[in-house]
Amino acid sequence: MIEAWLFDLDGTLVDTAPDLAAAANALRVAQGLAPLPLDHYRAHASSGARGLIGRALGVGPDDAAFEPLRQTFLAHYAAHIADHSQVFEGLDTALRWLEARGIPWGVVTNKPRRYTEPLMAALQLSARATVVVSADEVPLAKPAPDALIEACRRAGLAQQRCAYVGDDLRDIDAGRAAGMRTVTAEWGYLGTTRPEAWQADDRCATPAELLDLMHPLSTQG
């Protein structure tokens, strides 16, 4: 029986792509370039500043211009972290289903804590989550299992009785390494690899499918 559900943040629990894309487009506008459509960025929204700056300007970490661009990107994002970000449609229903039954849920993300906390607060999720762990609170980020193990330690959960839901191969690898049931959130960003190759225990195309999965896994009888 699954006694707790843990979620990746960007692209799984919350659609943060609009605000991340806006920060990337701000870099383009500052250089006299036209903004690019959201779809240009969406698949890379879980790739952090490196991936988004690359998509916006074709500049990588080895370029001398990268670090100043990264700082500008992060400052813009921090100032507009929840302008358009929102919980994916249908997921709040799943969260409320868990809450109504006293089943803990939490967030484990590669996002640094200085962005995780204000985003969670702005979306009124902080008080609802049993546990929240960001990448900079543990030695190794996903795909290492450190953050998931830490989440279980803080919340007093047994790893093998938890499920981890994510939209990236790193999430599935981390969940598997932590001994958890893994679920691919196919409504998310997914990156550039094929999710059917990730070998997650379950794949859900929509939050409604996830809720249908929760019923037999987290209820007796």
Residue 84 · residue 18 · CB < 8 Å: yes
User: Which residues in 120-180 belong to E strands, given as ranges?
Assistant: 131-134, 162-166
How much of the chain exceeds pLDDT 90, in percent?
95
- Report the catalytic residues: 8, 10
Q: Check pLDDT > 60 for residue 134.
A: yes
Q: Check pLDDT > 90 for residue 46.
A: no
Cα–Cα distance for residue pair 57/96, rounded to 1 Å: 41
pLDDT tens figures, 87-97: 999 999 999 99
Q: Kindly list the domain boundaries of the chain, sorted by start residue.
A: 4-15+86-217, 17-79
pLDDT at 12: 98
pLDDT at 192: 82
- Residue 73 main-chain phi, psi, to 5 deg: -60, -50
Q: Check pLDDT > 80 for residue 220.
A: no
Cβ-proximal residues to 52 (8 Å cutoff; 6+ apart), any chain? 20, 21, 23, 24, 41, 44, 45, 73
pLDDT tens figures, 185-207: 999 999 888 999 999 999 999 99
Q: What does the pLDDT average to over 134-154? A: 98
Q: Check pLDDT > 80 for residue 221.
A: no
Cα–Cα distance for residue pair 29/209, rounded to 1 Å: 39
Strand partners, 162: 4
Cβ-proximal residues to 106 (8 Å cutoff; 6+ apart), any chain? 4, 5, 6, 7, 129, 130, 131, 132, 133, 151, 155
Which CATH architecture group holds 4-15+86-217?
A: 3-Layer(aba) Sandwich (3.40)
Q: What does the pLDDT average to over 148-161? A: 98
**Average pLDDT, rounded, for the chain:** 97
The structure's pTM equals 0.96
pLDDT tens figures, 48-80: 899 999 999 999 999 999 999 999 999 999 999
Cβ-proximal residues to 155 (8 Å cutoff; 6+ apart), any chain? 4, 104, 106, 130, 131
Which H helix or E strand runs over 53? Answer: helix 48-57
Residue of 56, 123, 62, 116 whose CA lies nearest to 88: 123
